Structure 1
Amino acid sequence: MHIFFSCPFCFIVLFFSRLDERPPSIHKLPPDRTPHVIFTGFNSIIVQEYMKKLYVLGGEVAESSAKCTHLVAAKVIRTVKFLVSLPTVQNIVTSEWLEQSFRAQYFLDPRRFPLRDAEAEVEFNFNLEESMRKAQTRRIFQGLHFYITPGICPSLSTMRTIASAGDGRLLPKQPSWQQVFDHQRGKSLPEIVIISCSNDLHLCKNYFAHSIDVHNGEFILTGMITQKLDYETYPFL
């Protein structure tokens, strides 16, 4: 039995998916027109197939969020990739951008395929397009110093990565309540924000005793996605 492919590039992807090799590109794009893509919110098998189609069209997988031009996402999802890409990525699109580009055999205008997630925008009270614009105009945590207690969830390294992407500075040692107080009151000193979790509240007794707010991780996570500093919603009482 003979199997015929109406699209020769579909055959390329299927053939190389068996060999688990990078397929050849049908286009040689100049560097300034080459999409550098990060995928988030998909399982690994789907990502592998998307990567093959990306390579066939002449695109590349981005080495880091700083070099990412296109973030392909299934929905608004607060992964590290999604959050740290906000300040630098040019386009946040659905997978339809890649699928339809593959059918057309060249990269289509990503502005035709913006990610829309009404449910997430209602849940977090934000607009994704506006958040991107704000993030790329001024980093949300610029001018803030964070101390994050070690038991935080997501992990300490994850929270540090996200805070740093928003231009927050991370303190290596726990500051005394007096230091935090001085920084909050001193006009020439950067503000110190304490981030903790329920299991680490014993580390924060001196802050509570001196009426210094301790916030949970949502200050950073929701702050990054909404591009708003919310001091009212997330402090432990």
Structure 2
Amino acid sequence: MQQIPINAVPSQDLSIQLDGEYWRIKLSLSMEFVCASISRDGTPLISGLRCFVNQPLLPYPYMHEPRFGNFLFDSDVDWNNFGGSCSLYYLNYAEFNQYKELVNQGYADAAIKMLNNRAEEFAENASKINYPTVLVLADIITQPDSVSASAGSDATFIIEAENWVSISWEFASQPGSAWTPIQTLTGGAAETLHIAGVNIHQQGLYRAVVFGDNNTVTSDTVELKVE
């Protein structure tokens, strides 16, 4: 069983390796309730699920069986108490089956106590615990769109990205051609590629390559048509 490091903030985005796979856990506030979205190796599993104590965050067996476990909060889910009296745990497949057996037999309190005892162990042996590595990953939230522009007019491609360090826009004259970087920026303007006074030689394919501290993400390929 592993404790997931969460902070006392209403919204957070964690990437973590568990059972040999990369998981992404987003906790956010909807009204006054904490909700979770979870993906595994880029595949979404849940989105906007309201969190409760003693309720697995992956509610259906197909989301985790037969290889993986589940996530559980050990007390009433209040972001103000994250990292304190409210902790999030990952139970592997065997541990989660043990947890379910206790709950099915009517020992929900004992199941929660199992988690609470584990929390005490973390507190007493903090220096001996190997916490999982948390990686902050770059991601593209909004993909660019293809653009048609008259010769001599301006054309603009826009993406929305997060957790990025720099963004490089690239051009290819046609499918199969080599990609050529045409703009690389680190500031806020990096999410936009503005082409002033387009000409027929700038017609072709465009994409954005988003660089983060721990990964690189490439956008969809879009087209500029010059009319």
- Per the shorter chain, which TM-score range? under 0.3
TM-score by length of 1: 0.26
Larger Rg: 2
TM-score by length of 2: 0.27
